Amino acid sequence: MRKKLLLMLLILVLVFSSAQAARKKIEVAMISPALTSTFYIATNAGATEVAKELGWNLYKLAPDRETNFQAQVSMVEDMIQRNVDAIALCAINDKAIVAAVEKANKAGIPVFVFNSLTELPGGEVVAYVGYDQRAGGRKVGLKAVELLHSKYGELKGKVAILEGVPGYHTTERKGGFMEILSRFPEIEIAASQPADWEREKGMNVAENLLQSIPDLDLIFGCSDAMAQGAAQAARSMNKEIFTIGIDGNPDAIEDVAKGRLTATLAVFPTEMGRLTMRAIKDYFDGKEVPRFIKTPTEIVDLDNWERIK
């Protein structure tokens, strides 16, 4: 009888220990603006790689489109209800996400922001992981100037901009780009129109621009997806123009290699995802986490795509 009791106690201890171990598995939410761009597929891939190494459960969530900020807010709230150990997010709308971030703060869930170095207007964030987007826009602007000079032998030309959804990312990228081009009075910003970060919209807007401005020289898409859409429109209309994007997504670099896209600004999204997870790990380990974790950027064109890829 005594042996049976000891055996039962041992079984109960093992079951309890297993349940405790299962509960201790860290759960992290990675909430992106959408997966319509391969950029956020790449950030997820980097985050997944590190989470797998660490044995974490990683929930990868995103609305259907990058305009659906209400859905993103709901996703943050759902993860708070689930009581995850940390939330990493890239906000569609900085102001709209604040209330959800404050709820996470009250619940004791640390929040991390990726693909942005600009502080949210409210709530507490442990760290911001990303690149200086205005400086990135300036790099693209310098590349645009170089391309126009290569075409005309002087600094002139007509340029159009495809904007993303209104907000931080569009403001900073477009702002940096225009800072550079504004120095050259003979380079005209002939149009600047929204395409909501989407390839198909980029293609449709670019088609209209190429019809209304037949002597357009260059289209800058504030994301690779929009720039790729513009390049697709130009090919379908047999127009030879320069097309430049921002992101450095794998498919965009492939387009650069094949001559379908003139250039892109690589911002290394996979590494951004990795760094976000590592920042969370450092936080859990009680280490000091920098407020801003900067990621590199580099222009990719036919001269260097192979090294970047």
Residue 3 has pLDDT above 70, yes or no: no
Residue 1 has pLDDT above 60, yes or no: no
Tell me the C-alpha distance between 102 and 147, whole Å.
Answer: 46
Higher pLDDT, 297 or 11: 297
Domain boundaries, the chain: 25-131+269-295, 133-266
Residue 263 has pLDDT above 80, yes or no: yes
pLDDT in tens, 79-138: 999 999 999 999 999 999 999 999 999 999 999 999 999 999 999 999 999 999 999 999
Q: Does 133-266 match 25-131+269-295 at the fold level?
A: yes
In sequence order, the 6+-apart residues with CB closer than 8 A to the CB of 118 are: 94, 128, 168, 172
Higher pLDDT, 22 or 90: 90
Tokens of 241: 């123009």
CATH architecture, domain 133-266: 3-Layer(aba) Sandwich (3.40)
Q: Is the pTM of this model over 0.95?
A: no
- Residue 4: pLDDT band (50, 70, 90) is low
Q: Packing angle between helix 38-54 and helix 224-236, nearest 10 degrees?
A: 140
Beta carbons within 10 angstroms of residue 66's beta carbon: 26
Q: Which residue has the tokens 């003139």?
A: 262
Higher pLDDT, 220 or 167: 220
CATH class given for the domain over 25-131+269-295? alpha beta
Beta carbons within 10 angstroms of residue 183's beta carbon: 11
The average confidence (pLDDT) of the chain is 93
Find the mean pLDDT for residues 12-19: 45
